[in-house]
Amino acid sequence: MAKIKKVKDVKPRVPVIISQIDPEANSKAIVISHIPFGFFEKELLSYFSQFGKVDRVRVARNKKASFLILISTFCFTGFTGNHKGWAFVLFKDCEVAQLAAEAMNGYLMYEKRLECKVIKNKNFPRCLLKGPRLIPPPVKGARTKQHALKMNKVQSECCEKKSEKRMLRKLRVRKKKLSALGYQLPTVAGLPKEKLMTPTPAKEIDTLRVTEVKSENIKENVMSKPSTQ
């Protein structure tokens, strides 16, 4: 009968591979700077495969599209996803990475002089830890139709009321700021109309004074007349 191990007897598993890694030693990845336009994922993979087996290739691209590239191969309209001029290449062996970096460092390609360096273990990029071999670049305007349908869809009454309140609130704040500067916005449907104090002209003021004087004289005459009984 097999002996049942207790919880105290079970030893915790220690990752031997991680403990043996030297942070100052060279890794299997290289960084390539000053890459020319058009020398992207597929081109890097096919070119550096002559030195040895390549596990992963990552090209640094615009931050606006980096999150969308990881999720899908497409992106919304307006996200460029342009490259930043440098990339990572992960090889199967450390010796192959060292050989490729020495061979391609200072290599002139399409009026660009490449700079290749082997990355140390302490500076190993996270994008090379997992994922597919290649991440396709984003396609500009690939989801234009879907984005247009999303923006032009019919909203519910609740969403319309919320958007209307938000728009009117912004208009009130803008109207206050412009009125403080001496400008006045045209009337907008939905905003409460403010009662403006229109100045009365001089002729109207004179007529009002004359009517007041006449009314006072009439009252004095009525009070001064004796009552006839």
Number of domains in the chain: 1
- Residue 109, domain member (yes or no): yes
- Residue 134, domain member (yes or no): yes
- Residue 51, domain member (yes or no): yes
Range of the domain at 89: 29-63+79-145
Q: pLDDT value at position 71?
A: 44
- Residue 166, domain member (yes or no): no
CATH number at residue 58: 3.30.70.330
Residue 15's pLDDT band (cuts 50, 70, 90): very low
Residue 34's pLDDT band (cuts 50, 70, 90): very high
Q: Which of 138, 33, 44 is nearest to 90 (CA)?
A: 44
- The string of pLDDT tens digits covering residues 61-93 is 876 544 444 444 444 444 567 888 889 999 998
pTM score, two decimals? 0.49
Q: pLDDT value at position 190?
A: 59
Q: pLDDT value at position 50?
A: 92
Q: What average pLDDT does range 165-192 have in this prediction? A: 82
Q: pLDDT value at position 216?
A: 63
CB-count exposure of residue 222 (10 Å: 0-12, 13-18, 19+) = exposed
